Structure 1
Amino acid sequence: MPKESTMQSYSALLYLILSLSILVISFGDDEQEKLVLSDIKAHWSSSPQLATSWDASTPHCSWRGIQCINGSVSQISLSNLSLSNTLPQFICNLSNLSHLDLSINNITGNFPTSLYNCSSLRHLDLAQNLLDGALPDDIYKMSSQLAYIDLSFNSFSGHIPPSVGQLQSLRSLFLHENHFNGSFAIELANLVNLENLTLSFNNFSNQRIPSEFGNLTKLKDLWIRGANLVGEIPEALGKLTELEQLDLAENSLNGSIPAALWSLKKLKSLYLFSNNLTGEIEVTTLGSSIEEIDLSMNKLKGPIPVEFGNLAELKILFMYYNQLSGEIPRSIGTLTKLSDIRLFDNQLTGVLPPELGKHSELWNIEVWKNRFSGSLPDGLCANGVFSSVVAHDNNLTGELPSSLVHCPTLNNIMLHHNNLSGEFPFGIWSAAVALQYVQIHHNHFTGSLPDKLWPNLTRLEINDNKFSGKIPSYAPGLRVFQASNNMFSGEIPSSFSGMSNLQILALAGNLISGPIPEGISTLKLLTLLNLSNNQINGSIPAAMGSLTVLNMLDLSHNQLSGSVPPEIGNLKFNHLNLSYNQLSGEVPLQLQSPAYEQSFLSNPGLCSSKFIVNLNICAHQSHGDSNNSRRLVAAVLVALAGTVLLIMVVMGAMKCLRRPKGPHLPSRESIYFQRVDFNEDSIVHRLTNENLIGSGGSGKVYRISLGGRANQTVAVKKIWNNKKLNERVQKTFEAEAKILGSIRHANIVKLLCCISSDTSKLLVYEYMENRSLDEWLHGFGSGRVESLDWQKRIHIAIDVAQGLSYMHHNCKPQVVHRDVKSSNILLDSEFRAKIADFGLARIWVEAGVPESASNVVGTVGYMAPEYHRYPLKINEKVDVYSFGVVLLELTTGKRAQEGGEYEGLAGWAARCLREGNKPIDNMIDPGLTSTDKIERVLQLGVECTNTNPLLRPSMKQVLQKLMDCDELNEGRRYSDVISLLQMKRLSQHQSSPDDGGEDNS
């Protein structure tokens, strides 16, 4: 054979051998990867989806969540598959793995350092798992190619190590919603390729924003909301020329807003709400891309910059709860994309921009509690989407724009306490099919109401206007109807079957005539009925006694006749007034009490068998018997008088003998905190058993009707102490009483005065007609009452949160309640909530008890764990814990002590959510229909009751989250858009620049 031919044969043989070797090696790698994936399947055997979709008889590159390049596994995406257990140590045996997404599972353990062996890893997503512990200090050993890390929604704690700054390829770093309580390293500023950085909702230790962050010039999203940031916003952030989203809200930042931020040309969203920012807003140059501005809940002053009128992309402008002054720039009204403007609770003046609504799809405007004048703009609904106008407590004048008649989307009208006049557009009642809330009281409107109102309408408050005509007979959704002090006439509708949801009906001060219809007894939810100052005649229907939750009834100043039905006496009234009528006969026995002595004035025909002021004694007996009785009573009275006189003489003589020499000291002292129309004697003389409404370990509570010009009702708490009290205790009590007496807040019960004697204190408060939240949630006595609907519950929660936020963040010195509970949350006639009982009783009763013991206060079920660990170091977070328990009561309907012997309601709820052994909608009060908002409030309750006080939110943060859950504030917080976008990333799993443009399809 020729030499050349032999060489060709050898070459062919060598090629064949090499090809077979490659095939064998490839086949071996393929099987090896399949074995690794099979081990992963066994490790996560609890996942039913993995068990059924990873079939060993099929190629592994076709398995669910697996993607390959050239037959080798490059991507694992197993999001939301109920994976439980730790991360497999051997996962990096997949040597070409570049993309790992295990988000939204139940993976446990510390940060998996086994991932250091994944040398090709570019994308790591472990968000929404159960990982905890500290991030390792040597995290820099991760792949040098790593561009994307998401560890959000886990339980990592400690600090963020400086070595993170060595991961130079990082473009996205998401660490929000963890338990970090140390610091975040300045070395993060070394990540010069970073485009997304989120550190929000962690409890860093009073961290300042490093000015070095100005070096992150590629940054697009910077999100550090609710992270205990302090100090000023660095001017250096003005160098972030690529920045699109900046969120530093819900922190304690102070100083002014750097002017350089406004010049960022790509900035779309700026969220700085809930800080302590001050000064005027200075704008030198203004970027043109800004879509959303939220500077609310700060201390900003001065005018709204006129340059804001040039923001052509602006959709959201929130600057409420500041101290802004001046006018709204007129050019803001011409912005073509503006949809929501909220500037309430400032000191703004002038008129509202007349072009508002004409050039954009405006849906909401909230400007209440300012000093605006002029009329409402007439083009609010020009683009057909307008929903809500809230402009109460201003100086607005003129008529309501007739264009609102052509606004079917209109949902909410709140214009009360203005000087608006003219006829209220009648067409609104038929055109605005979405209308739910109309509050226009205290204006000068005229007009009438239709006989039938839309079913969506739940609240109609038109009192103190000039409306006339007849009362509607059909409003099936209406819960509150207040139309007092108008000119309505005619009779009350004979049937209330079309208004069966009414809870408050106030028609006082009108021209209504005719009888009270028997059909009023169908209003089973009615708590307040006021028909006073009308021309109503006939008798009081006995069927009204079936209104079991009615606690306020005023029929005074009418022409009612006949007797007071005995059935009325079965009701538990907080307020009853039948005065100035023509009633006769004996008052029901249950109402023959000093508590009702002002309830029957100017009814000469009424009488009582007991001695009650303002009522005659009934003549039940014959004249002869009556004379004998009078003689017997007179004889007894004379004998008693003589005995009493003798005792007084003897006691007076003994007192004189014992009295030390020196000046005479008064037996009682009074401190008044409010202007009142009563004196201490009118209080003390009414502390009788008939007025007793409650008692506890420290004393008793009385309900006292004082009469007088104000016809005032007060609550008196009598607390006693038999110990000899020293001067320090007296001064402590008086000092705290003065602090509380000086607090002026709509959601804190007013302390009117304090009356002191040697052994007792009388604390006189304003009276709250609907008593405590505890009674409404858990029943009056042994009987369960009609439950509160969710709208009432969320408003109660917001009211209390506003009061606590004021105490914690606005009072100097700060006030910590230390005994927040549902029985200390009182409700007025319209279910507005106020916080009561600030521990003055504790100071008085526990005087002389060692300080370490007296500091452990509170109520079982509501007490934060730190009370027992270090009671001398507690702070305002104990109130946050207790309020969290109240939120759990409101959402679950359970008592604070329910949930087991050791864990209580807070522990039960946290365990249910942590272990997932009870679906969250099954935790909701059966009296409510589970919704996303109710579930969010329940989760907020669990967040507030975290056993670590550092991980609880502030009351300012809690308040904002509750406002987000209120249907009346729908869309209030657009600033969660970043979080939503990140969640969208978790579900889409699309290729991105972080993956190097790799084809994963």
Structure 2
Amino acid sequence: MAKNYYASFFLFFTVLISIMPKSYQQSTDQYSDEHQILLGLERYWGSSPVLGRWNSTSSDYCSWGGVTCMNGMVTAISLANQNFSKSIPTSLCLLKNLNYLDLSYNNFSTSFPTILYNCSKLMYLDLSNNVFAGHLPADINSLSASLSTNHITGRIPTSIGWFPRLKSLQLDANQFDGSNPSKGISNLTNLEVLTLAENPFRPAPVPVEFGKLTRLTYLWLSGMNMTGEIPESLSSLTELTLLSMSNNKLNGTILTWIWQHKKLQYFVTALNLMELDVSSNKLTGAIPDDFGKLVNLTMLFLYKNQLHGSIPPSIGLLPNLIDIRLFDNLLSGSLLPELGKHSALGNIEVPNNNLSGELPDYLCSNRKLYDIVVFNNRFSGKLPKSLDGCYLLENLMLYNNIFTGEFPKSLWSVVTNRLSVVMIQNNNFSGTFPTHLPWNFTRLDIRNNRFSGPIPTLAGKMKVFQAANNLLSGEIPWDLTGTSQVVELDLSRNQITGSIPMTIGVLKLNTLNLSGNKISGNIPAAFGFMSVLTILDLSSNALSGEIPKEINKLRLNFLNLSMNHLSGEIPTSLQNGAYEESFFFNPGLCVSPNNSIRNLPICRVRSNIGDDTSRRLITLFSAVASIMVAGLALTKFHALHFTDYDVLSGLSEQNCVGSGRSGKVYRICAVDGADGNRILAVKKIWNGQNLAENLEKDFLAEVRILGEIRHTNIVKLLCCISSSEAKLLVYEYMENGSLDQWLHQRDRIVAPAPLDWLKRLQIAIDLARGLCYMHHDCSPAIVHRDVKSANILLDAEFRAKIADFGLARILVKAGDLKSVSAIGGTFGYMPPEYGYQRKGNEKVDVYSFGVVLLELTTGRVANGGGAEYCLAEWAWRQYQEYGLSIDLLDEDIRDPAYIEDAFTVFTLGVICTGGQPSLRPSMKDVLYALLRFEHKYRERGQQDTVSEETSLLES
């Protein structure tokens, strides 16, 4: 017995050993085959975000992205969003164990890929969001398929019902145009998800057969041309969590079968349903109070029907309600008194009804509310206190009601950084605004209320600001241009005074209405830069002076300048019948002969002789002489630890780093007891041989004044060493030289990279701060008169400081006309008034600053072509002829993220270089206009590059 046992065991063991190598070899071959199949897919479809990481040298393909294995065999492939366009290859089905395939969100454009029938074990297929076209094959009966969002046409074949184990069928958003496939689909008794929405089926009633699909949890039948009432047969769908039949032609009342508790299963339905959408139909009757039994309901969409009566209070008690939309019905009565108290309510939309009373006190008590949309009702009273601190609120639309009281100040707070749309027009709100509106605001409409106080600075994302017919007062702020994105601005019928700021020209408005105020002064020439402006209303104000000819460039669809004090000839482009009613009640206005405007006087003929001459620029001359320094006197403006000898010993030719019309500049190293070795910049100024004795005193007096200036954006003058023959000015040394070198002489300096946009913008802001200090904070004001890129020095961090200021005013006292011309400025930076007057106010510096802005944005030199070329005139002509073109900008700053900002700074430069000094903005105005970028970039997290300072006149 034992012998036979061992013999049998030995025979079994021998057979087992004999077959093991063969089985092992087959398994190894299959692994190798699947590896090669996957590599073949990578070669066929090409590189993609996932396939690009497949490693041909690694045999562990089960760890590759998008691949899932079981027992070493590929069972699932997920390659969504790979931009595939080639057809699905037959080799895919050589993966014998593949049961899951997701190729959604690609660019397949063939007919349905029948080759997938060869994938014998495939149970789940997602081909949604592609461009598959044509008809579905009649034998598609063995796949759990998602084909939503394609271009499939024709009928859904009845063979779809031949596979009763199917659990998910998603055919929404195609072009099926036959009758809805109720007979085939109704056999899929295991179906849990069914989506047929957004297909142009022929009009037909809701399929009663769908009542057989008792395991459905998700039923989406929107936009299918369904008609009639919702059938009673659907009462058997007790597992539904989502039911959507929106955008059909259904009539009758709302789903009364849900609450007909003939059987327990109906109550189960009430417990399960989470999302109900029967919007955009023709449903009538009242909203049943039994909605309060849907305790799991999170979303209730009944909008765009013909429902009437009041909203059942039980809906306000639902513990999970997040989103309720009942707009465009005939509902009346008050809003649910406890709405928002029992659930984390996020959205409420009830506009276009007949609702009244106050908004519920608890509306935002859970601090989750993000939308309140209740316009076109008869709500009244004050806003609920729960809105104070409702910081997630994004949209607030309360217009056309009867609300009263002060608007919650917390909603204007910068902390409320999500609020973007506020439309509260046509109520009776009162209150004031903060100085600056929140950055995220895109639309603010407060028309026809009782808001008062000054106009706020607009936010960086603001598109529309409408504030007509309120009690706003004061002047239009210069930093109203704190946003460059406003396209519509309406401040009409308020109590606004003052003049229109010049900086309004940098806005890209298409609509501007300032009518019905008390605005005075001239119409700024900067309107000529508002190239997209189509509607302009400045009527019923106290504007005076001429209409600027720059308005000729605008293409206005509507213009109203009536009821002002304007005078002079109307610009030629406006002298046509289209604007015939635009100039009433301006007695000083006139037109040229043979125009098409009636009832206006003809202008007197006046000579234009001398106009060209008045704009000629003076020629600059310079004369230098080399002399020895003797009879020295040292004047200190700061505590110093080096001596005049330290300075003089460094005045050797090998230390000379530059020369100009008034002398040379030296870079010397002096021993400073406090700081060790200190690098200094020494400017040696040569005087003429016949200087008057009074010049010495004047020179020292002026230098002492300049030595007292303390500002971070003005080069620090450390001391002055003077003699009868020469003057030495000793400054702090600026490591990165001049702006001129970085913009125009990069081949002469060691510059690893050109100045990027953020550095250029910071330089402009630094320069504006320095000039603003000189013009507005010094008494008497200091006018530089030679602002140019060569006189803007950059420290190690590329922060800009003004140098060589005041020198022209000092030396001009010699009385030498050549010196007057030579030191009055630099060609290309001098304003046109230098051609007909010697004295200029601070607007001289504004013009020169504008030229620097043009240099920063275009990269062009101010005077590269001598008398034949002037950058300011070139920029003006380019803007007039071609508008804001990318070709205007320096190639080094054409980053798409900053192009619009560069265009705005270019436009500001053109405004600053306007021909009439009185129409140029002040440096304070210019600084306001530039500082908006600081806040904008700080919001982007770029404060390391752009200054964090927010004070307009810091230090």
TM over 0.5: yes
Which of 618, 626, 644 matches 2:603?
Answer: 618
Q: Which residue of 1 aligns with 2:576?
A: 593
Alignment check: 8 A CA contact 1:207 1:228 kept: no
User: Within 1, Cα distance between the matches of 2:31 and 2:15?
Assistant: 24
* Structure of higher CA gyration radius: 2
Supply the AA of the counterpart residue of 2:570.
Answer: V
> Which residues in structure 2 correspond to 1:514-525 (within 5 Å)?
514-521=498-505, 523-525=506-508
Residue 164 of structure 1 and its aligned partner are, at CA, apart by 4.2
Q: For each residue in 1:323-378, what CA deviation from the matched residue of structure 2 results, as whole angstroms up to 9, or x when unmatched?
A: 22222222111111111112222222222112111111111112222222222222
Q: Which residue of 2 aligns with 1:888?
A: none
Q: Which residue of 2 aligns with 1:28?
A: 25
Supply the AA of the counterpart residue of 2:466.
Answer: Q
Distance 1:161-1:459 versus aligned 2 partners, 3 A rule: closer
Q: Which residue of 2 aligns with 1:566?
A: 549
Distance 1:78-1:783 versus aligned 2 partners, 3 A rule: same
User: Within 2, Cα distance between the matches of 1:537 and 1:131?
Assistant: 64
User: Within 1, Cα distance between the matches of 2:308 and 2:146?
Assistant: 39
Q: Which residue of 2 aligns with 1:492?
A: 476
How many residues align? The count is: 603
Which of 244, 268, 274 matches 2:217?
Answer: 244
Supply the AA of the counterpart residue of 1:319.
Answer: L
Secondary structure (helix, strand or coil) at the match of 2:474 reads: strand
> Which residues in structure 2 correspond to 1:145-294 (within 5 Å)?
147-153=123-129, 156-165=132-141, 167=142, 172-211=144-183, 213-229=185-201, 230-261=203-234, 264-286=237-259, 287=269, 288-294=271-277
User: Within 2, Cα distance between the matches of 1:223 and 1:783?
Assistant: 53
- Is 1:608 the counterpart of 2:608? The answer is no
Residue 462 of structure 1 and its aligned partner are, at CA, apart by 0.6
Q: Which residue of 1 aligns with 2:908?
A: none
Alignment check: 8 A CA contact 1:174 1:199 kept: yes
Which of 406, 412, 417 matches 1:433?
Answer: 417
> Which residues in structure 2 correspond to 1:126-525 (within 5 Å)?
130=108, 132-133=110-111, 143=120, 147-153=123-129, 156-165=132-141, 167=142, 172-211=144-183, 213-229=185-201, 230-261=203-234, 264-286=237-259, 287=269, 288-430=271-413, 432-473=416-457, 475-521=459-505, 523-525=506-508
User: Within 2, Cα distance between the matches of 1:58 and 1:589?
Assistant: 80
User: Within 1, Cα distance between the matches of 2:272 and 2:327?
Assistant: 25
Q: For each residue in 1:203-240, what CA deviation from the matched residue of structure 2 results, as whole angstroms up to 9, or x when unmatched?
A: 22322241564443332111111222331112232333
Distance 1:22-1:82 versus aligned 2 partners, 3 A rule: farther
Distance 1:55-1:595 versus aligned 2 partners, 3 A rule: closer
Residue 513 of structure 1 and its aligned partner are, at CA, apart by 2.2
User: Within 2, Cα distance between the matches of 1:45 and 1:501?
Assistant: 46
Alignment check: 8 A CA contact 1:66 1:73 kept: no
Supply the AA of the counterpart residue of 1:440.
Answer: I
Q: Which segment drifts farther, 497-506 or 209-218?
A: 209-218
> Which residues in structure 2 correspond to 1:19-58 (within 5 Å)?
19-37=16-34, 39-41=36-38, 43-44=40-41, 46=43
Distance 1:51-1:392 versus aligned 2 partners, 3 A rule: closer
Supply the AA of the counterpart residue of 1:507.
Answer: L
- The root-mean-square deviation of aligned C-alpha atoms, in Å, is 3.7
Supply the AA of the counterpart residue of 2:22.
Answer: I
Residue 291 of structure 1 and its aligned partner are, at CA, apart by 1.0
Supply the AA of the counterpart residue of 1:365.
Answer: I
Secondary structure (helix, strand or coil) at the match of 2:176 reads: coil
Structure 1 gap segments, 5+ residues each: 106-126, 623-778, 788-923, 930-1001
User: Within 2, Cα distance between the matches of 1:152 and 1:928?
Assistant: 38
Secondary structure (helix, strand or coil) at the match of 2:252 reads: strand
Alignment check: 8 A CA contact 1:562 1:585 kept: yes
Alignment check: 8 A CA contact 2:509 2:530 kept: yes
Distance 1:42-1:460 versus aligned 2 partners, 3 A rule: closer
Supply the AA of the counterpart residue of 1:73.
Answer: M
Alignment check: 8 A CA contact 1:579 1:602 kept: yes
Secondary structure (helix, strand or coil) at the match of 1:420 reads: strand
Supply the AA of the counterpart residue of 1:261.
Answer: L
Alignment check: 8 A CA contact 2:346 2:368 kept: yes
Distance 1:592-1:253 versus aligned 2 partners, 3 A rule: same
Alignment check: 8 A CA contact 1:342 1:367 kept: yes
Supply the AA of the counterpart residue of 2:600.
Answer: L
Residue 427 of structure 1 and its aligned partner are, at CA, apart by 2.9
Residue 12 of structure 1 and its aligned partner are, at CA, apart by 6.1
Residue 8 of structure 1 and its aligned partner are, at CA, apart by 7.2
Which of 8, 18, 35 matches 2:15?
Answer: 18
Q: For each residue in 1:288-324, what CA deviation from the matched residue of structure 2 results, as whole angstroms up to 9, or x when unmatched?
A: 2111112222222222232222211111112222222
Supply the AA of the counterpart residue of 2:196.
Answer: I
Q: For each residue in 1:863-906, what CA deviation from the matched residue of structure 2 results, as whole angstroms up to 9, or x when unmatched?
A: xxxxxxxxxxxxxxxxxxxxxxxxxxxxxxxxxxxxxxxxxxxx
User: Within 2, Cα distance between the matches of 1:61 and 1:495?
Assistant: 61
Supply the AA of the counterpart residue of 2:436.
Answer: K
Secondary structure (helix, strand or coil) at the match of 2:315 reads: helix
Supply the AA of the counterpart residue of 1:485.
Answer: N
Supply the AA of the counterpart residue of 1:532.
Answer: S
Residue 481 of structure 1 and its aligned partner are, at CA, apart by 1.5
Alignment check: 8 A CA contact 2:93 2:119 kept: no
Alignment check: 8 A CA contact 1:556 1:577 kept: yes
User: Within 1, Cα distance between the matches of 2:223 and 2:166?
Assistant: 24
Structure 2 gap segments, 5+ residues each: 260-268, 608-877, 887-895, 902-955
Alignment check: 8 A CA contact 1:196 1:222 kept: yes
- Is 1:526 the counterpart of 2:509? The answer is yes
Q: Which residue of 1 aligns with 2:520?
A: 537
User: Within 2, Cα distance between the matches of 1:357 and 1:397?
Assistant: 19
Alignment check: 8 A CA contact 1:232 1:255 kept: yes
User: Within 2, Cα distance between the matches of 1:545 and 1:64?
Assistant: 58
Supply the AA of the counterpart residue of 2:603.
Answer: C
> Which residues in structure 2 correspond to 1:629-708 (within 5 Å)?
none
Identity within the alignment, %: 40
- Is 1:98 the counterpart of 2:97? The answer is yes
Alignment check: 8 A CA contact 2:338 2:362 kept: yes
Using structure 2 for the length normalisation, give the TM-score.
Answer: 0.57
Secondary structure (helix, strand or coil) at the match of 2:251 reads: strand
User: Within 2, Cα distance between the matches of 1:299 and 1:780?
Assistant: 56
Distance 1:528-1:93 versus aligned 2 partners, 3 A rule: closer
Secondary structure (helix, strand or coil) at the match of 1:350 reads: strand
Residue 498 of structure 1 and its aligned partner are, at CA, apart by 2.6
Secondary structure (helix, strand or coil) at the match of 1:413 reads: strand
Distance 1:89-1:185 versus aligned 2 partners, 3 A rule: closer
Distance 1:239-1:65 versus aligned 2 partners, 3 A rule: closer
Distance 1:555-1:158 versus aligned 2 partners, 3 A rule: closer
Distance 1:73-1:453 versus aligned 2 partners, 3 A rule: closer
Residue 93 of structure 1 and its aligned partner are, at CA, apart by 6.6
Distance 1:89-1:464 versus aligned 2 partners, 3 A rule: closer
Q: Which residue of 1 aligns with 2:773?
A: none
Using structure 1 for the length normalisation, give the TM-score.
Answer: 0.55
User: Within 2, Cα distance between the matches of 1:337 and 1:316?
Assistant: 9
Residue 257 of structure 1 and its aligned partner are, at CA, apart by 1.7
